[in-house]
Amino acid sequence: MNDRQKTAFDRLTEMAEGVYDALDRGDIPQMTLPLRSKRNIEFDPMTQVWKYGNLKTTRTAKTTQGATTMLRTAYTTEFINEMIRENKSSTLREMYYISEGWNAAKFHSQDEGNLLAEDLETMSHCMREDFKLRPEESGAHVYGNVTFRTMTRKGMKDINCMDDVSEQGFAVPYSVEKDTFEIKSHDVRFIMALETGGMYARLIENGFPEKAGCCLVHLSGQPARSTRRLIKRLNEENGLPVVVFTDGDPWSFRIFASVAYGAIKTAHISEYLATPTANFVGITASDILNYDLPTDKLNDKDIGALHAELSDPRFNSEFWDTEIRAMLEMNRKAEQQALAKYGLDYVTDKYLPDKLSQLGLL
């Protein structure tokens, strides 16, 4: 048991004590935790990321939901403490299945288990990794002239993300903390995070990383924690600028927001995960117009999401306000691969050079 695990163990035990003492006094057990909604995220000028504010929610055993969550907390902490003691670990998926035997505390979906693990993080100020809980592989990859020193089955090894990997690149592990993962060296000028695998493959095929001297990170949809953490470390430790290149739709805006500003669900650890200096290189509503891109009509969910973003404090800037309203007005969205309208090389010959020179990266 290392120090961090000892802290996690102690904090979880404290929570159990809180419940026990309330019952022993004849009171209704309660737990207080930050309200995890967009109403309760605030910009932290110190770290330049969005974190939870002061709004709290009280979980009480008076309601079925509250009591059930409390019971889940009890089962989960017992499970975690056992893993810490026996030096085991499990995936969130495994925990979901283990909960089958937890009577009323059983998780009805994977999300419920994930949310609870995050609750425990916010209440204990520990990280999920300290609880020995890990996510599945995220599918995120890195390609570029960067060398990591990372834990393999045969001990720590150096891996260059261009020379030592397949065409797909280096698969991002679930934990990129210093004890098992180091950034050894690099010969790039900036990091480019990409939403879709299609664009990632296109840029590799076109030799863009070599030409532009950049390292590509395939986010594979909404980026997992370790992917965001890796971007953050590359940025912070190596001073590499970060740009994010996504589709042009409301969901992609949120992908950028979670990389740059911090995600609402994980705002308690935004300072570990978010890269506030990251820049967005499209596709924006203006790009759709300027490049005359093929588009699709917004569906009801898209429109709802855009409206939700207008009241999301993270998007409360002139840039986003203009872009979101423009997208609502034109009622269209576009994929990043729509640039292929002008040929396969257009994105690397024209679009990205345009965008990157504006940022002074080319």
Partner 1 sequence: MGKDSEPAARPARSGRARAEELADKQHEISVTEFFEKNKQILGFDSRAKSLLMGVKEAVDNSLDACEESEILPDIVVKVRKVGEEEYEVSIEDNGPGIVHRAMPNVFGRLLYGSRFHAMRQSRGQQGIGISATVMYANVSTGKPAHIASRIEGEDEVAWEMDISIDTKTNRPIVTNDRAFPWVDKAHGTLIEYTTKGRYVTGKQSIFEYLKETAIVNPHARIEFHDPDGKIWTFERATEVMPPKAKEIKPHPAGMEIGDMMSYSARSEQRTVRDFLKNDFCRMTDRLAAEVCEKAGVDPGSRPQDLGREGSMKLISAIADTKIMAPPSDCLSPIGDTLIKKGLMHILEGMRPEYYATPVTRPAHTVNGNPFTVEAGIVYGGEIPSDGQVTIMRFANRVPLLYQQGADIITKAVSEFDWRRYGLEQRGGKGIPYGPAIVLVHVASTKVPFTSEGKEAIASLPEIEDEILAALRLVARNLKSHLNKMERKSKTHEKFDIVQKILPDLANKVSAQLGRPVPDLSRTITKIMNVVWIEPAKSRTEGKKSYAISYTVYNYTVRPHTLMLHMALPKDCISEAVTGAPMFDSVNDEGKTQWVIRDLEPSKSVQVSFVLEGEMADTFDPDDVYVSGINPVIVMGAEALPGDWGIKGMEITETDDPVPEDDSAEEEEKEELEEEEFSKEAMDDE
Binding footprint of partner 1 on the chain (CB under 8 A): 13, 16-17, 19-20, 22-24, 26-29, 35-39, 57-68, 70-71, 74-75, 77-78, 81, 92, 103-105, 110-111, 114-115, 135-136, 138, 221-222, 224-225, 251, 254-255, 258, 263-266, 301, 304-305, 308
What Å distances lie between residue 279 and 58, 260, 288, CA to CA? 37, 8, 18
> Is the separation of the CB atoms in 264 and 274 below 8 Å?
no
Helix (H) or strand (E) holding 297: strand 296-297
Nearest to 74 by CA among 138, 141, 124, 12: 12
> Is the separation of the CB atoms in 175 and 162 below 8 Å?
no
Q: Is 185 helix (H, G, I), strand (E, B) or coil?
A: strand
Closest approach of partner 1 to the CB of residue 136, in Å = 6
Neighbours of 94 (CB within 10 A): 14
Closest approach of partner 1 to the CB of residue 181, in Å = 18
Q: Which amino acid is at 208?
A: F
Closest approach of partner 1 to the CB of residue 118, in Å = 9
Neighbours of 93 (CB within 10 A): 14
Active site residues: 97
Which CB atom, from 44 or from 312, has the smaller least distance to partner 1?
A: 312
Closest approach of partner 1 to the CB of residue 104, in Å = 5
Please name every residue paired with 193 in a beta bridge, in sequence order, or none if there are none.
217, 244
Closest approach of partner 1 to the CB of residue 332, in Å = 19
Peptide bond into 283 cis (omega under 30): yes
Which CB atom, from 81 or from 147, has the smaller least distance to partner 1?
A: 81
Which CB atom, from 171 or from 340, has the smaller least distance to partner 1?
A: 171
Write phi, then psi, for 123 (nearest 5 degrees). -75, -35
